[in-house]
Amino acid sequence: MQENSVLNAKLQQNGILFMVAGTMIAPGMDAIAKFLGDVLSPLMITWGRFTIQSIIMATALLVTGGLASLKVNRAGIHTIRGILLACATLFFFWALQHMPLTECMAIFFVQPMILTLLSAVFLGESIGWHRRVAVITGFIGALIIIRPGTASFSIYYCLPLLAALFYACYLAITHAVAASDTPVVQQFATGLGGAVFLSVLLLFADIKPHDWAWQTPTSTQWAWLGAIGLIAAVAHTFVIMGMSRAPASVLAPFGYSEIIAATLLGWWIFGDWPSLMTWLGVVIIIASGVYVAWREAQTSAM
């Protein structure tokens, strides 16, 4: 009995380490996307991220012998997941061209609150007043950062909200089909679905005033796109490894370490440091998200 407890505690510790590693690495991808935003469209950057990540995952499966025996049980569902994740990433990278990294990341983290609402509306889950208050409080935190009606407000501040909405839909479907395929198969199928979807968009994209049609990257830009794809593959793998070792309620608070990494990168690379109002909004969003995760864990245990 004691040995099992020690083993479970060790697994949870490893899960936390993997989660922190994944979330601390991920903002590097966003920083590169923001840097490339001066020369490439958000659609090109997002396409590069998914295409190169798919190539990396296919190569890993090929080397380990998993590609030959690859079987996807819910290909259609995973394609939808890929499209939702691609849309979330596209809106997020688009937002990065017009706002600081920390603010973009903080607003995006209202997605746990959106996921709670989606679960209530579409899955019929009951939401008690505790979580209702936490959800409302989280959105208030986002409004403090966005500050609608003030001189600092921009319509681009709505883009991280759209990214959060698409990502919450992606997570809702992911939870529903989590047992259908292995995490590696799900990541490969989802990435490939997103890459195909974005490739189709590129065939028809010519949106004004932003020219989102195909742009042939330079060798340096290809290298940066490769770095984005590599970081995405490694970060997602670490997060999956973390989630396989510890409950989501344990890992949820550590997921917000991504905001810390984003703040440091935003300050170091772009010279952006959040204002006091932004910090207030960030604290409110984190506190609300952690409470929602904790309350869901308590409800599930009843």
pLDDT of residue 298: 65
Q: Does pLDDT of 25 surpass 90?
A: yes
- Looking at per-residue pLDDT, the higher value among 123 and 261 belongs to 261
- Kindly give the interhelix angle for 257-270 and 248-255, rounded to the nearest 10 degrees: 20
Residue 182 to residue 173: CA distance in whole angstroms: 15
pLDDT of residue 214: 83
Q: Does pLDDT of 36 surpass 90?
A: yes
pLDDT of residue 72: 64
Q: Is 76 exposed, middle or buried (0-12, 13-18, 19+ CB in 10 A)?
A: exposed
Residues 6+ apart with CB under 8 A from 237: 22, 187
Domain ranges of the chain: 2-301
Closest CA to 57 of 142, 197, 183: 183
Q: Does pLDDT of 87 surpass 60?
A: yes
Residue 281 to residue 103: CA distance in whole angstroms: 9
Count Cβ atoms below 10 Å from residue 214 Cβ, excluding itself: 15
Residue 124, φ and ψ in degrees, nearest 5:
70, 20
Residues 6+ apart with CB under 8 A from 242: 14, 15, 16, 17, 18, 19, 21, 22, 251
pLDDT band at 160 (very low <50, low <70, confident <90, very high): very high
- Looking at per-residue pLDDT, the higher value among 178 and 160 belongs to 160
pLDDT in tens, 54-78: 888 888 777 776 655 566 666 778 7
pLDDT of residue 69: 56
Taking the whole predicted model, whether its pTM rises above 0.75 is answered as: yes
Share of the chain above pLDDT 90, in %: 28
- Looking at per-residue pLDDT, the higher value among 118 and 191 belongs to 191
- Looking at per-residue pLDDT, the higher value among 221 and 202 belongs to 221
Alpha-helical regions (H) of 97-182: 101-108, 111-122, 129-146, 159-176
pLDDT of residue 170: 85
Share of the chain above pLDDT 70, in %: 80
Lowest pLDDT segment from 7-11, 165-169, 271-275: 7-11
Residues 6+ apart with CB under 8 A from 75: 189
The predicted model gives 222-226 an average pLDDT of 95
DSSP letters along 113-135, please?
HHHHHHHHHHS-----HHHHHHH
pLDDT band at 221 (very low <50, low <70, confident <90, very high): very high
User: In degrees to the nearest 10, what's the CA dihedral of 94, 236, 278, 290?
Assistant: 140
Residue 259 to residue 250: CA distance in whole angstroms: 18
